[in-house]
Chains A and B, each alone.
Chain A
């Protein structure tokens, strides 16, 4: 081999090994960090893995939010109007968290069927039903439109009643 070819060989070997390391690391990191989404109906069917990080979501069920008197522990139920999922969390809930509104929780499903949330994400959405939940309902054989209407009705009623916000003025 001429020195030039040798040099080229090194370049190619170097590049290939760098790429291999990069791809390997990437796939490894991706595999352990993908969070799949499940809706309450899928969790009730037993589709979701236990004690692995997943995302779940739906609407916060009316009247289900309960705060501990002393600490920041809170429990609430997430519903897609077919099944409910009990969620417990310790910490500060986002500004837009409200009963009857869409919410996504990140955390682990426990063996007792409750969900331990590490993160609660709320969003104000005119559609009420998060798209992931609507899709999950459809896959489970329900008609998302019916539940969308139901969610909208609850949401509109809560909004009209004026769920206490910030504080009373």
Chain B
């Protein structure tokens, strides 16, 4: 009896969560406005309760999946009794309704964590943050309950078995990619809440940035990992070895990442120097708005991709309205409450302040160009001006040069001093790095392939130009310590975070530059006995067999690979699968990963007479792409666990003291 009621319990829990979110959205804000501690105190228990009830709902849906309850429409459409248990578990977020529920769970979770860790913030600030979080939660819970209820039943005519999860989504990458991405998206809602709360309370001081920075870093780190995982998944799952397609859905995740990166850097200036305040707030608002816009693009069905699950116009409309309300209200608050008197903190042209300003301008330009290319076709279409698509060449033509320019400034940034710096000091510190970068970067493409390539050279020069000055900086910083190791230990975690983040970008850039230009791809017709040589490897198809998996049939080819004449040999097993429940064919790629090259074999179509079309690729340095992403994320996390923030929380700064401390620290 109880088991049969699980979906109803989940649905009911969601309604309770919504009611709690409504209370959380109203009471603390009203309390902060009228200075009533009792009203403000509503925030914390409501955040906790809301998290609890969304978690219960989520658990109920997962249970329905695990128990194969095909009377639940969501389960029937996205699962199957033959599906392995771990895919049943991840199928919960492999569809529209479930993924929005996961999103809400994370939102409630972040809200709860924010309320726990804000113990020492001023009470009205906490109340406002929780009120804003409550509003966002109300929006998403209403969205679930009104347009995408995951607990809808198919009674009395329930199907015997489910329609199965899309085979593309039956994969480890999908188990981890969406949760990471959502953690990032949703994490920025906390930053957004902090920004709006600071505007409302008129507390746009350095203390505010100290609260907002760790949240920004954490959200950014999650988003970075999420994007990297998505790219990795597309690489091995879609079967043609691409890792970034400039697909609108990918762009939707890149946009908040770009503004989020800008926000991280602008918050650094705000904290250390007290300038860029309004700008930081504006970036916080845009980052969250872009996250919402990403959801709109992905969920509304205006795009066709694996991410667009169901085309229901009411959903798109709902999210569009949510986006419109968020943007309008937050910009209104910004217009009314942003600090009028501009803070007079001057800085010289040659200073870290101005370099970070350039960083921000470039990142915003990148955001705008990507946004334009993504939204332009949609706008034209909705105005009835024709169906067009904007291809990757557009994005590459803009994004690549902008990235190179960005790297030129990135080399200078970490070395430059705040406020002002003599040009001679900068050149003295940097000319060696610059020369080495130019020589090495220019030579590597020649040595590597014997063929000089401008873009590879530019990529490697950029990467070296980012890394080398920082290496020198580390040595400079440890020079006065008793020993090198002692000096290293003295450097703060935040500094290491910055170093890792920048090294991560450099590693990614090396990967992108080399794999884009030195990738070798051959499409060939192969039958047992055929041998093909690609990049010094002999690929021989020895056998063509078939096998049966848990929920699919597969044609498997056995490919014997040998390096050169006498090198090591190994076997690869690419597959062509046919998923039984959906009748969908799918390519299962065989990969031989390595730090410096991947071998990539995918089966194309059956050509008859025992022969298959095969795609064989040699992808140098492709792993560096994602390795760089991981390093960046690690950098973001390191910066957060820096003891400075723990101290900041302990100190419970409400006003003047911190600014002085910040200045002191900046000069230290």
B486 at the interface (CB under 8 A from A): no
Q: Which partner residue on chain A sits nearest B607 by CB separation?
A: A67
Contact yes or no, A93 B604, CB < 8 A: yes
What A residues does B394 contact at CB under 8 A? 29-30, 32-34
A21 to chain B, nearest CB (A): 9
Given contacts A30-B376, A70-B525, contact A95 B586 (CB under 8 A): yes
What B residues does A2 contact at CB under 8 A? none
CA distance A164 to B578 in the complex (A): 11
What A residues does B608 contact at CB under 8 A? 67
A29 to chain B, nearest CB (A): 4
B626 to chain A, nearest CB (A): 24
Contact yes or no, B524 A135, CB < 8 A: no
CB interface residues, B 134-151, toward A, < 8 Å: none
Given contacts A72-B613, A92-B615, contact A123 B605 (CB under 8 A): no
Comparing B33-41, B177-185, B365-373, the segment that makes contact with chain A is: B365-373
A145 at the interface (CB under 8 A from B): no
Contact yes or no, B578 A18, CB < 8 A: no
What B residues does A53 contact at CB under 8 A? 391
CB interface residues, B 364-403, toward A, < 8 Å: 365, 368-369, 372-373, 376, 386-391, 393-394, 397-398, 401
Contact yes or no, A29 B393, CB < 8 A: yes
Contact yes or no, A92 B555, CB < 8 A: no
Contact yes or no, A123 B304, CB < 8 A: yes
- Interface range for A: 35 or more
Contact yes or no, A165 B583, CB < 8 A: yes
What B residues does A164 contact at CB under 8 A? 606
Contact yes or no, A71 B525, CB < 8 A: yes
A86 at the interface (CB under 8 A from B): no
CA distance A105 to B238 in the complex (A): 18
Residue from B390, B577, B613 within 8 A of A30 (CB atoms): B390
Residue from B365, B553, B578, B605 within 8 A of A22 (CB atoms): B365
One digit per residue, 1 when the CB lies within 8 angstroms of any chain B CB and 0 when it does not, for chain A 157-168 equals 000000011110
A146 to chain B, nearest CB (A): 21
B49 at the interface (CB under 8 A from A): no
CB interface residues, A 25-76, toward B, < 8 Å: 25-26, 28-30, 32-37, 53, 55, 67, 70-72
Residue from A18, A30, A166 within 8 A of B553 (CB atoms): A166
Q: Which partner residue on chain A sits nearest B521 by CB separation?
A: A91
A22 to chain B, nearest CB (A): 5
Q: Which partner residue on chain B sits nearest A130 by CB separation?
A: B304
CB interface residues, A 124-156, toward B, < 8 Å: 124, 132, 135
Residue from B369, B525, B607 within 8 A of A26 (CB atoms): B369
Contact yes or no, B391 A33, CB < 8 A: yes
CB interface residues, B 585-604, toward A, < 8 Å: 585-587, 602, 604
Contact yes or no, A166 B373, CB < 8 A: no
Closest 3 CB pairs of A and B: A92-B604, A33-B394, A29-B397
A-B contact pairs, 11 of them (CB 8 A): A22-B369, A29-B394, A33-B391, A34-B390, A36-B388, A53-B391, A72-B613, A90-B523, A164-B606, A166-B554, A167-B606
